[in-house]
Chains A and B, each alone.
Chain A
């Protein structure tokens, strides 16, 4: 399957840790890439590959992967982290695919 599935909504208390997951067969061959999108704005690259945080992204963002599940973790979530998060990858047919998206709410 070329689909990437994410939980629709995740909530986290200010300063606590939240994990956003992404599941799909395409993750067998490619690391998930993660994007953050705030209302009315274009997506912003957050994390790619096994270890690479994008330029300007705080180190409270980290990522991990195992077989068909990838995770983006925010350790010590801040109010400004409230946004939609999308994973992406490449499927076995060579098409670029995005996850269904997760809305993170910081309480």
Chain B
């Protein structure tokens, strides 16, 4: 059973770069049907898609974060990484890593499974 787990600092100073890693176990990252990415949720708030990337390097980012975000996939290590630059308090959130399956001709998609999430607080 595929499992994802986030890791990284829980506290980041304003203007610095947030960096999180997702470790994938129980399955391969090289299946071209899937993308790997990040979703965040501010405390008490809703879900926001950050971006997704295929193992071959195709990337898709949220327009509101595109200028600050980068996602990297290392299939050989079973990991993918999120980097979010120039953070502010508004970036304080629980960050989830997840796998995306997207089937355009069928008109459906899903994010599954999700990591347990990691809280990142932006504060000096």
**Partner-B contacts on A (CB < 8 A):** 29-31, 33, 35, 41-45, 48-50, 52, 54, 86, 88-90, 93-101
Contact = CB atoms under 8 A, between A and B. Distances in A.
Contacts of A88: 47, 49, 109, 111
Q: Tell me whether chain B's interface is mostly helix, strand or loop, or mixed.
A: strand
A48 B108 contact: yes
B102 interface: yes
Interface residues of B, number: 24
B2 to A, nearest CB: 12
Contact of B46 (A29, A31, A100): A100
Contacts of A33: 108-111
Interface of B: 39, 46-49, 52, 60, 62-63, 96, 100, 102, 106-117
26 contacts: A33-B108, A33-B111, A35-B111, A42-B96, A42-B117, A43-B111, A44-B114, A45-B112, A48-B109, A49-B106, A52-B108, A54-B110, A54-B112, A88-B111, A90-B102, A90-B109, A93-B63, A94-B60, A95-B49, A95-B60, A95-B62, A95-B63, A98-B39, A98-B49, A99-B46, A100-B46
